[in-house]
Amino acid sequence: MVKIVVRFKYRRDITHSMELWFDELHTENARLGFRIKSELEHVRSEYQDIHVFDTFDFGKLLVIDGTVQTTERDEYIYHEMIAHVPMLTHPAPKRVLIIGGGDGGAAREALKHEPEEVHVVEIDEKVVELSKKYLPEISKAYQDSRVKLHIGDGIKFVKENSGFDVIIVDSTDPVGPAEGLFKLEFYKNLKNALLAKGVVAQQCGSPFYHPEEACRAYKEISKIFKYVKLYLAYIPTYPSGMWAFVIASDDKITMRRMQNFKTRYFNSEIYQSAMVLPEFIKEYCKNQK
């Protein structure tokens, strides 16, 4: 089980034992690896480096700047949890805004709540294009006429648009293009873009590897909204498998409607239980200035 791993070039004489792996480096010293059948596409877009792989165990895999975004096998967990928690917190969400989420997964789940409009604001049209091409089950939301795609900057969009019931911030991590989505000014603009009983949810990383990211998002958003909670989901293909989201509103955070659609991970009990945090996260957030 111990392997000495060295990068080297293709050598014809050893192809009999060749295996192609994509490993996401969670840190310099920890990695999660997927054996891949083939690299379907590799694009360097205006904003980032994008790969689509066909894996043996996880179906198609979308990777941006070396980090796993979604796999066909477990995408439902992330998308259900980022969408249904805020959507069910709102009594009747009609206008929904998704910042990021170019793969279409969050929009697909939001549509289960019968909204009138779902606006997706994705900065990188290559993400949309590749998702439509390789991830049909995730991107099928784009076939629905209620889904309006805007290619552009989410930060700018929330400054210039308003009247939303729910805003879902489904971005990459707070390094690179998504950095501004974790700042106080953005949260202020989010609030202005929301209607009175509006609800916002945002993914905020692995609290095992980066408790500071989840706690910082929690603290910043708490300056703007009256009620704020972190919640968690098991996501096998994300670093540590423990993933955090933050939900915020000026109205109490509670499940206001029954779930009347099918899910594979989320259920009404999970709405509650996902908000229960392990001691180490509570301690970390309490002690952080």
74 is catalytic: no
Burial class (CB in 10 A: 0-12, 13-18, 19+), 243: buried
Of 133, 129, 166, residue with least CA distance to 151: 129
For residues 286 and 256, give the distance between their C-alpha atoms in angstroms, rounded to a whole number: 29
Among 269, 286, 287, 289, binds a copy of itself (CB under 8 A): 269
Residue 30 within binding range of a copy of itself, rule CB under 8 A: yes
Beta carbon of residue 115, minimum distance to a copy of itself (angstroms, whole number)? 22
- Which one of 74, 103, 165, 170 is the catalytic residue? 170
Residue 46 within binding range of a copy of itself, rule CB under 8 A: no
Q: How many residues bind a copy of itself (CB under 8 A)?
A: 63
For residues 87 and 256, give the distance between their C-alpha atoms in angstroms, rounded to a whole number: 9
Residue 14 within binding range of a copy of itself, rule CB under 8 A: yes
Among 47, 112, 129, 208, binds a copy of itself (CB under 8 A): 208
Backbone phi, then psi, for 263, in 5-degree steps? -135, 165
For residues 244 and 153, give the distance between their C-alpha atoms in angstroms, rounded to a whole number: 24
Considering only residues 161-200, where is the footprint of a copy of itself by CB under 8 A? none
CB 100 within 8 A of CB 172: yes
Largest CA distance in the chain: 67
Backbone phi, then psi, for 266, in 5-degree steps? -65, 145
Residue span binding a copy of itself (CB under 8 A) among the ranges 101-109, 152-160, 161-169, 260-268: 260-268
Residue 32 within binding range of a copy of itself, rule CB under 8 A: yes
- Give catalytic residues, as residue numbers: 170
Q: Which residues bind a copy of itself (CB under 8 A)?
A: 1-8, 10, 14, 17-25, 27-36, 39, 51, 55-58, 63, 66, 74, 77, 208, 232, 234-236, 240-242, 263-267, 269-270, 272-274, 276, 278-280, 282-283
